[in-house]
Amino acid sequence: MQSFRTEIENPIVEKDIIELANKIEQFKEGQIDEEKFRSLRLARGVYGQRQQGVQMIRIKLPYGKVSSHQLRRIAEVSDEYSRGRLHITTRQDIQIHYVDLDRTPELWAELERDNVTLREACGNTVRNVTASETAGFDVDEPFDVSPYADALFKFFLRNPICQEMGRKFKVSFSSSDTDTGLSYIHDLGFIAKIENNIRGFKVMIGGGLGSQPRHADALYSFLPSDKIIPLMEGVLRVFDRHGERKSRSKARMKFLLKSIGLEAFKELIETEQKAIEQQTVPIDADNFPISKPVEIETPRVEITDPKTFESWKTTNLIPQKQNGYKAIGVKVLLGDFYTDKARLLADLVETYAAGELRLTLRQNIVIPFVKEALIPFFYTELKKLGFTELGYNKAVDITACPGTDTCNLGISSSTGIARELENVIKLEYPQYLNNEDLVIKISGCMNACGQHNMANIGFQGMSIKAKNNLVAPALQVLLGGGNSGDGKGRFADKVIKIPSKRGPEALRYILDDFEQNSEQDTFYEYYTVQGEKYFYDLLKNLSDSTNLSADEYIDWGSKQAYVKAIGIGECAGVVIDLIATLFLESDEKIMNARSDYESKAYNNAIYFAYSSMVNSAKALLLSKNHSTNTQASIINQFDEVFVSTNSISLGSTFSELIYQINTNAPTELFAKNYINTANEFLTTVKEFRKNDLDS
């Protein structure tokens, strides 16, 4: 690792990268449990891929903003370590695929040269903080949400309270009441508001998609901006302690909130505030660095296709609140583009715009701060790159996850059917090229990375049994979802399941019926009037799987007969002593606590000590074959199994010992005493384990 160690200026980042390299080596030597290594790897943006022996790397780009020099750096990394293809996700990240695990530390080091991180892009952490792609130039925004999204990202990056939660945690910011950040599907969603000349946010909590979508609750109608970080810290602490950990399918925040209710959750957050060091965290939005458009002479160009140019302007230009400027929406089919175009695009916006791009929730690119006089020039340059396809954020702009192309969990192809549906709209329904009221989304499985269950028309990858027990690729058709604004939305109904190859015909049925029979302006309104049963009857004949053709046993984009398969996972290859691994981690947490104590980061030090005690208690419970569900249940069980039976003497209950974190302010003295308590507890349980093994 010496080759990149000295090139990283930030010692915290350098330590992170070296730790990843060391953990990879320890894992291969059988010193680290597979699950523990997976947790560490994912929290550093390294994700197992469907294809054996290679990794997907997720690059974290807060609120989708990427500068020209950062995009060039990402392109260089993709060429060196991958295959030159970049994939934009529905969370404004960039993913690259087919990366060798051993090379991930040096890849990360290369990215950090331009302040691009992998840290917490995956795993049970706070994922990328997303925001409206028009933040900062949105004509409807009361203020720019970018500084607030950036502040949250920085505050919780590497924060010990959110490194090993039961599941991932997603946060969004919306610029205005149109809620383009989709607050209602997030664990925490913030919608910009101003009250009495004070900047703040409507706060939505507990939303999510997946197999059981849940609409977020309104936690606060208005929360001043200096309260959003303390609020989120309290929410994360409560989720970390009480969130499910045994059953992965129940481990999201939405299930905890559903279980205990909004008011009880509010009380837990308020109680937790006692342990939070900063009760207010002002965010200096006025001094936040903003993009500055260049001053340059307008090149003269000739538009050779004026009719197409005029159509492009109607579908791909975005108004800006800054006079004299427009933003350009670039439609990126399935979010995939290549490094040669990425470099040219980076050069173009650096020379003629403001040197930045925005990645969108619909897997596209926005170029802000383009002078109106430069629009013809940009059109001609983007056309050379193949970036002038009509229909940015319109009906033809279909969102799809990678599905069975690379994802372990994909059931049937999402990218293949997306291409077919886009062709159907472009060729047969050109009137929808400028329609932004029809949203179509596709996911390869129930996990909803393509956000299918919040679309007007959604498709979910499935399989279907046909005659002779053969299996064919299928699609669940979902209808009627949509975003109503200001934190309100509706999830789509599961209407019917059909063979995948009939997806284009299903779309034709739906659009033809809407065209011929609707008296409403939008499909969302039309579906509300007609309802699920109407559309079930409309599509019913497409669901018959008793007489499938040979072609219907082959998925989109494939030439082989369909086989339902989940990708091959990784294997440690050796048996690991999980108890010893947990004790090792407890030691590391205490070391981290002491390091933060020396740096006067008492809040972090205390939480590392708390995590060490939970980890140590979990290790001993597992040694006695007791299942562990939540952190709170670990604490209660430890008292029941060891303290109340006098097997271990602590001088108090374990609950009283560990829950000092809730009753003491994070002072220097408390941090010192609490770290010592955690160290003494670890010594006690280690000794108990040793005696138990010796007896």
3-class SS at 196? coil
Last residue of a domain, one of 229, 256, 287: 287
pLDDT, position 249 = 80
Its sign, for the CA torsion 245, 250, 254, 257, is negative
* CATH of residue 223: 3.30.413.10
pLDDT category of residue 577 using cuts at 50, 70 and 90? low
pLDDT digits (tens, 9 = 90+) for 356-388: 999 999 999 999 999 999 999 999 999 999 999
Number of other residues whose CB lies within 10 A of the CB of residue 448: 22
Q: Is 102 inside any structural domain?
A: yes
pLDDT digits (tens, 9 = 90+) for 411-458: 889 999 999 999 999 999 999 988 989 999 999 998 889 999 999 999
* CATH of residue 590: 1.20.120.330
Last residue of a domain, one of 238, 260, 287: 287
Q: How many domains does the chain have?
A: 5
Pair of tokens at residue 195: 């009250």
Q: Is 299 inside any structural domain?
A: no
pLDDT, position 1 = 38
Residue ranges in 429-577 assigned as alpha helix (H)? 503-517, 523-530, 532-539
pLDDT category of residue 565 using cuts at 50, 70 and 90? low
Both 319 and 422 in one domain: the answer is no
Q: What is the DSSP string of 389-417?
A: -S-TTSTT--EE--GGGT-TT--S-SHHH
pLDDT, position 499 = 95
Q: How far apart are CA 686 and CA 284, in angstroms?
A: 47
Both 242 and 312 in one domain: the answer is no
pLDDT, position 494 = 96
Both 277 and 361 in one domain: the answer is no
> Domain range spanning residue 371?
306-384
Both 379 and 403 in one domain: the answer is no
Q: How far apart are CA 181 and CA 533, in angstroms?
A: 31
pLDDT category of residue 257 using cuts at 50, 70 and 90? very high
Q: Is 207 inside any structural domain?
A: yes
Cβ-proximal residues to 580 (8 Å cutoff; 6+ apart), any chain: none
3-class SS at 646? coil
Both 532 and 428 in one domain: the answer is yes
Look up the pTM and report it. 0.90
Burial class (CB in 10 A: 0-12, 13-18, 19+), 131: buried
Average pLDDT over residues 317-343: 97
Q: Is 150 inside any structural domain?
A: yes
Q: Is 292 inside any structural domain?
A: no
* CATH of residue 93: 3.90.480.20
Average model confidence (pLDDT) for the chain?
92
Both 37 and 183 in one domain: the answer is no
Q: How far apart are CA 121 and CA 117, in angstroms?
A: 8
Detail the DSSP E strand segments found in 273-385: 317-319, 325-330, 336-338, 356-359, 365-371
CB-hemisphere CA count at 13 Å for 579?
17
Both 525 and 673 in one domain: the answer is no
- The CA angle 414-419-420, to the nearest 5 degrees, is 100
Q: Is the pLDDT of residue 154 over 50?
A: yes
pLDDT digits (tens, 9 = 90+) for 156-171: 999 999 998 989 999 9
* Residue in this structure with the two tokens 């929808």, named with its chain if needed: 432
Both 454 and 325 in one domain: the answer is no
Q: What percentage of the chain has pLDDT greater than the value 90?
A: 80
pLDDT, position 527 = 97
349 compared with 29, residue with greater pLDDT: 349
369 torsion bin: left (phi>0), alpha (psi -120 to 50), beta (else): left
* CATH of residue 322: 3.30.70.3340
pLDDT category of residue 573 using cuts at 50, 70 and 90? very low
| 36-45, 165-174, 301-310, range with the lowest pLDDT | 36-45
Q: Is the pLDDT of residue 152 over 90?
A: yes
Both 443 and 535 in one domain: the answer is yes
Both 81 and 10 in one domain: the answer is yes
Q: Is 256 inside any structural domain?
A: yes
609, 674 in Cβ contact below 8 A?
Answer: yes
From 138, 232, 222, 224, select the one nearest 179 (Cα to Cα): 138
Both 105 and 158 in one domain: the answer is no
Both 162 and 90 in one domain: the answer is no
Both ends of the chain: CA-CA distance in Å?
43
Average pLDDT over residues 616-630: 89
Q: What is the DSSP string of 249-260?
A: GG-SHHHHHHHH
Q: Is 335 inside any structural domain?
A: yes
Q: Is 416 inside any structural domain?
A: yes
Q: What percentage of the chain has pLDDT greater than the value 70?
A: 97
